[in-house]
A and B are shown apart, each in its own frame.
Chain A
Amino acid sequence: MNNLTLIAGLLMLMAVAYQIGLMRSRAVARTDSERMHSRPVYYGWLVALWCGVPALFVFGLWSLLEPAVIRSIVIGALPAELADMPAQQVSVLMNRLGHIASGFGVAGEVAPWEAAAAEQLTRLQAISQLAKIALMASLAMAGVLMARRHIRPSLRARNHVEKVIAALLAICAGVAVLTTVGIVFSMFGEAMHFFSFVSPMEFFFGTTWNPRFSTTGAGGQGEFGLLPLLWGTLMVSIIALLVAVPIGLMTAIYMAEYAPSWLRSVAKPVIEVLAGIPTIVYGVFALMVVGPFFASVGDMLGIQIRATSALTAGFVMGVMIIPFVSSLSDDIITQVPQSLRDGSLGLGATRSETIRQVVLPAALPGIVGAFLLAASRAIGETMIVVLAAGNSPVLHANPLEAVSTVTVTIVNQLTGDTDFASPQSLVAFALGLTLFVITLALNVVALYIVRKYREQYD
């Protein structure tokens, strides 16, 4: 009986318990002269909850503790000469015992003490499984009986059930928080692990990126300098913003101030389509269309432009964030009070003068916030740069050459065989932490600015 059937069985028991509660409450309602506090469904639910929740709790606790307990018993019973084995060998041995116990067979001869330990492992697992089932079943039964006995008109079943529902909702809200905590802790933990190989000074201020392969082993550890990657990220993001900000901002101004409503209702959703297209599609577009186009333009002008370069990646990324800039700026420009425009127009300014000298300065903080959000988007973007930036982690200032970015390097270091003990893989987490901190800071500042701006005109 595996865990899935166990849970299914428990759910079935809960359904039965619900019916028991329902029937019991109806019976009580008929015999008792007093009016029941809650409707019958709530008594049903209450009994079902008493049946399921304690058993589920035990199940969770058991599944959490069982492997560790069994492991320590098995290790305790191993022959004495194996007592001071290093931790890594112990886990290898436990894997081997697990394979022997499950009957899959292992490489090499099975020593008699191994066979004994494996047999003990099997026996312990069987005992534990039986004990778990017995405990869960008896808890479920006890819960049903107790809850059923307590059903009487004065029992505030609805309030109890609703408390459980509210708790459940709160737990769900906690998942989002847990995700953040998980991100921070996993990245921080693995990054610390990485910094035990490479000093933080070398990582944050190193100017060479040459991690080598983890398999070669010899010849030192390689160099993990963050600066070339950060510079590449910066260059691509700046190019992206140079494309997206003028186009996005002018689009927003035109849409908000000039466009007739028919154009607005057509063009706005069409441009926003750009935001919904998966980034891998932009990547392929950059690789197949934009890169070769730039390269041939370069040929015509007599300068060498590589097909995969910071320019290609930045340009396509800029196209991707146009709708981001334009819709945020549009919101902010339409929030500027009409009275400001009317005042300016009344003094004889043309519309463009009003926009440039009155509306935009008034909207500036919000627009800056929008740019920062767009920048954080660009910095965290992965697929476009993986495909179109050319992956060459060298410090140089030429946007027509290939570069590498933080995100590209994370992908390169962590795909293929992931070995969580080598700095070559672990560096991905240090890079991820850097990325996370940068985007978080940009977002916090941007949201703060945007919110401040909203308050100004609300």
Chain B
Amino acid sequence: MSNETLSHRSIIQARVAKSLRKRHARERRFRVFGLAAVLAGLAFVALLFISILVRGLPAFWQATITAEVYFDPTLIQLEPRPVPREGETPQAFSEREIAWQSQLTMVNWNRILENSIIALKPELANSRRDVRALFTSSERFHLRDLVGNDPSLIGQRVTLDLVADANVDVWVRGNIDRSLPDSQQQLRPAVRALADELRAEGVLNIKFSKALFTNPDSRSSPASAGLAGAFMGSLFMMLIVIFLAVPVGVASAIYLEEFAPRNKITDLVEVNINNLAAVPSIVFGLLGAAIFINWFRLPLSAPLVGGLVLSLMTLPTVIIATRASLKAVPPSIRHAALALGASRVQAVFHHVLPLAIPGVLTGAIIGVAQALGETAPLLLIGMNAFVANIPTTPFDQSTALPVQIFLWQGNELRNFFEARTSAAIIVLLTMMISLNALAIWLRKKFERRW
């Protein structure tokens, strides 16, 4: 009998032990899945950043030819720059100025560029076409502007860093398969040999690319295409967002949190703002196209319109953040102010708002960073047009940093612009990360627990 129960118990025990092993194994598996998910998330972050850095960082340096340029007076035949004469009308002066400018442009700057290399290698005097292919096509304007700004350079020898052509950059860095047959190469054999020779002699070096930061976009001269135009466009838009979305957002948050009566209408406004925060960004682009462009007839591609659209998009973010930080200020502060005879407006503006400012700033900065990275709505209001100038007012045609990334990734000169695109992404991400770091720093520094 007892033997029976004993065996019965041991059977149960064995079964429990067996199932326990299974259950513990399942527990371990579950835990491993969880850890794997976390690691997968971390791996995606790492992969994203590493792949962008690996591709983009080299693009901050580009092939540059360091050569002594002789501003040959026999080639540059230029009258002295006109100065306003006594009693001359401004119009007459500007005519003379324009005539001088066109004279300046007519100089054969390419020949001066070619001479700088031929001085090193006299044997190339008969293959000027190959020498010229080394330089990116906008370098002649670089020389022109140097002389235009300082005519005393004529007759002097100056050592300059000249940007090499994009295809030369691709070739010397091995971004194209060197074993490809001539028909598939972007450069003629003679130019390729010359580039290698100059690289070996230390004339052609990989140097930090200033063009990336000082030039606007360029189609004819890809090697000198830069981000300056897009940066200014983004800057104008961010200023509009800061001066429009932030004050309006803060004001509406103050109204909703501190003044609005609790009724159906304010409930509706609240629901509305929460939903507005979740509307896809492209819908704001449609709104901009229909209202600002089609109805108000504002100019296409202008940072003004972009800034307005992004402001409307950022508004809910600012409102929600401001409301949260106003809510975090304890009611005792309000009560104390009101008890001492302050009006509600005074209590809010003199006491509550100053305490909520860190939270408001954090929300505003995060909203601005979000607006900085937004692309889709800008495509619908024409900001994806090619713009070769740096905009000087918010009414000028312009692109923005994320749109510039979009334009560059579609460029046909793949093996050069893939790196440039990633470099532009690095610039954009750096700006966004610094904005977010600023927000975190502000929050850490001023955060108060009540």
Binding site for B on A (CB under 8 A): 158-159, 162, 165-166, 168-170, 172-177, 179-180, 182-183, 186-187, 189-190, 246-251, 253-255, 257-259, 263, 267, 270-271, 273-274, 276-281, 283-285, 287-289, 319, 322-323, 326, 350-353, 355-356, 373, 376-377, 379-383, 386-387, 407, 410-411, 414-415, 418, 420, 428-429, 432, 435-436, 439-440, 443-444, 447
Contact flags B256-283 to A (C-beta < 8 A → 1, else 0): 1001100000001100111110111111
* Chain A residue contacts of B373, Cβ below 8 A: 277-281
Q: Which of B252, B278, B300 contacts A376 (CB 8 A)?
A: B278
CA distance A166 to B372 in the complex (A): 32
Answer yes or no: B7 CB below 8 A from chain A CBs.
Answer: no
List 22 A-B residue pairs with CB atoms under 8 Å apart, sorted by A's residue number: A172-B251, A176-B272, A176-B316, A177-B272, A257-B34, A270-B45, A277-B373, A278-B372, A278-B428, A279-B376, A280-B375, A288-B55, A288-B409, A289-B51, A322-B44, A323-B41, A326-B41, A355-B30, A410-B380, A414-B289, A428-B380, A443-B274
Contacts of B418 in A (CB 8 A): 288
Known pairs A381-B280, A435-B282; A175 contacts B315 (CB<8 A): yes
| B125 close to A (CB within 8 Å) | no
- Given the complex of chains A and B, what is the CA–CA distance between A279 and B274 in angstroms? 22
Given known pairs A251-B34, A276-B436, A281-B428, the reply for A411 and B379 (CB within 8 Å) is: yes
Give 7 new A-B contacts, CB below 8 A, not counting A172-B251, A418-B300.
Answer: A172-B248, A177-B272, A248-B37, A277-B432, A278-B429, A414-B289, A415-B380
A274 touching B41 by the CB < 8 A rule? yes
* Cβ contact within 8 Å between A351 and B27: yes
Known: A186-B291, A190-B290, A279-B376. A247 touches B41 (CB 8 A): yes
Q: Are B406 and A285 in contact (CB under 8 A)?
A: no
Q: Cβ of B324 < 8 Å from any Cβ of A?
A: no
The smallest beta-carbon distance between A230 and chain B, in angstroms, is: 15
Q: How many residues of B contact A (CB 8 A)?
A: 86
Say if the beta carbon of B223 comes within 8 Å of chain A: no
What are the residues of chain A within 8 A of B198 when measuring CB–CB?
A: none
Residue from B38, B252, B422, B425 in contact with A254 in the complex, judged by beta carbons closer than 8 Å: B38
Please report the C-alpha to C-alpha distance between residue A274 and residue B275 in the assembled complex, in whole angstroms: 23
Q: A263's closest neighbor in chain B, by CB?
A: B38
A176 & B42 in contact (Cβ 8 Å cutoff): no
Q: In this complex, what residue of A is CB-closest to B247?
A: A172
User: With A183-B279, A187-B286 given, is the CB distance from A259 to B38 under 8 Å?
Assistant: yes
Q: Is the CB of A382 within 8 A of B280?
A: yes
Please give, as numbers and ranges, the residues of chain A lying within 8 Å of B256 by CB-CB distance: 173
Of chain A, the residue at the smallest CB distance from B256 is: A173
A250 touches B379 (CB 8 A): no
Contact A165 B282 (CB under 8 A): no
Prevailing SS type, chain B contact patch? helix
**Chain B residues with CB below 8 A from A279, complex form:** 373, 375-376
Determine the residue in chain B with the shortest Cβ distance to A429. Answer: B286
Bound form: Cα–Cα A253–B37 in Å: 10
Chain B, 117-131, CB within 8 A of any chain A CB? none
A169-B251, A173-B252, A418-B293 known; A319 vs B319 contact (CB < 8 Å): no
A65 to B123, CA, bound (A): 75
| Residues B275 and A444 in contact, CB atoms below 8 Å apart | yes
B363 CB to closest chain A CB, in angstroms? 14
Name the contact of B280 in the complex, choosing from A251, A253, A380 (C-beta under 8 A): A380
- Chain B, 410-450, contact with A by CB distance < 8 Å: what is the 0/1 string? 00000000100110010011001000100000000000000
Instruction: Please determine whether A179 and B286 come into contact, CB atoms closer than 8 angstroms.
Output: no
Given contacts A287-B409, A379-B280, contact A350 B51 (CB under 8 A): no
A residues in contact with B436, CB < 8 Å:
276
Residues of B within 8 A of A383 (CB): 375-376, 406
Is B23 at the interface (CB under 8 A from chain A)? yes
Whether B287 sits at the interface, judged by CB under 8 Å, is yes
Pairwise interchain contact A255-B38, C-beta atoms closer than 8 A: yes
Once the chains bind, are B30 and A352 in contact (CB under 8 Å)? yes
Are B294 and A180 closer than 8 Å at their CB atoms?
A: no
For the complex of A and B, list the 5 residue pairs with the smallest distance between their C-beta atoms, beginning with the closest.
A380-B280, A278-B373, A254-B34, A250-B37, A172-B251
The reply to whether B405 and A281 contact each other, CB–CB distance below 8 Å, is yes
Instruction: Closest B residue to A179 by CB, please name it.
Output: B312
Residue contact A281 to B273, C-beta cutoff 8 Å? no
> Which of A173, A246, A355, A382 contacts B260 (CB under 8 A)?
A173
Given A175-B248, A276-B436, A280-B375: A251 touches B425 (CB 8 Å cut-off): no
Contact partner, A278, options B279, B290, B293, B375, Cβ 8 Å: B375
Nearest chain A CB to B262 CB, angstrom units: 14
Select from chain A the residue with minimum beta-carbon distance to B377. Answer: A382
B17 at the interface (CB under 8 A from A): no
Interface residues of B in 6-27 (CB under 8 A from A): 23-24, 26-27
Task: Give A180 to B274 CA distance when docked, in angstroms.
Answer: 11
Query: Does B255 contact A169, Cβ atoms closer than 8 Å?
Result: yes
Report the Cα distance A254→B40, complex, angstroms: 13
Q: Which residues of B contact A410 (CB under 8 A)?
A: 282, 285-286, 380
Q: With A271-B41, A420-B294 given, is the CB distance from A285 to B51 under 8 Å?
A: yes
B167 within 8 A of A: no
For B269, list chain A residues within 8 Å (CB): 173, 176-177
Whether, in the assembled complex, B382 has its beta carbon less than 8 Å from a beta carbon of chain A, the answer is yes
Contacting pair A382 B376 (CB below 8 A):
yes
**Closest chain B residue to A414 by CB distance?**
B380
A274 engages B44 (CB within 8 Å):
yes
On whether the beta carbons of B283 and A447 are closer than 8 Å, the reply is: no
**Which residues of the other chain, A, contact B242 by a CB distance below 8 angstroms?**
none
* B37-A247 in contact (CB<8A): yes
B136 interface contact, C-beta 8 A: no
Contacts of B279 in A (CB 8 A): 183, 380, 436, 439-440
Tell me if B48 is interfacial: C-beta within 8 Å of chain A: yes
A-side contacts of B343, CB under 8 Å: 158-159, 162
The yes or no answer to B78 lying at the interface (CB within 8 A) is no
B384 an interface residue at 8 Å Cβ cutoff?
Answer: yes
Within 8 A of A (CB), among B347-371: 369-370
Contacting residues, chain B, for A351 (C-beta < 8 A): 27
Residues of chain A contacted by B247 (CB below 8 angstroms): 172
Contacts of A428 in B (CB 8 A): 286, 289, 380
Residues of B within 8 A of A287 (CB): 409
Smallest Cβ distance from B310 to chain A, in angstroms? 12
B280 contacts A407, CB within 8 Å?
yes
In the complex, are the beta carbons of A382 and B272 less than 8 A apart? Answer: no
Q: Quick one: CB contact mask for B65-97 with A, threshold 8 Å, 1 for yes?
A: 000000000000000000000000000000000
User: A254 vs B409: C-alpha distance in the bound complex, in angstroms?
Assistant: 38
Docked Cα-Cα span, A158 to B418, in Å, equals 62
* With known contacts A183-B279, A415-B379, A284–B409 Cβ distance under 8 A: yes
Residues of B within 8 A of A319 (CB): 44, 48
B35 interface residue, CB < 8 Å from A? yes
Contact partners of A280 in chain B: CB under 8 A: 373, 375, 402, 405-406, 425
**Which chain A residues lie closer than 8 Å to B429 at the CB level?**
277-278, 281
Closest CB of chain A to B419's CB: distance in Å? Answer: 10
Question: A170 and B280: CB pair below 8 A?
Answer: no
Assess A271 versus B275: contact at CB under 8 Å? Given A175-B248, A350-B27, A410-B380.
Answer: no
Tell me, in angstroms, the Cα distance from A420 to B42 when the chains sit together: 46
Is the beta-carbon distance between B26 and A350 smaller than 8 angstroms?
Answer: yes
Closest to A164 in B: B345
Chain B: minimal CB distance from A170 (Å): 5
Chain B residues lying within 8 Å of A432, measured Cβ to Cβ, are 282-283, 286
A259 to B312, CA, bound (A): 40
List the B residue with the shortest CB-CB distance to A436: B283
- B260 — which chain A residues lie within 8 A by C-beta? 170, 173
CA distance A335 to B40 in the complex (A): 25
Given the interface contacts A158-B343, A172-B251, A380-B282, does A411 sit within 8 Å of B27 by beta carbon? no
In the complex, the answer to whether A435 meets B45 with C-beta atoms within 8 Å is: no
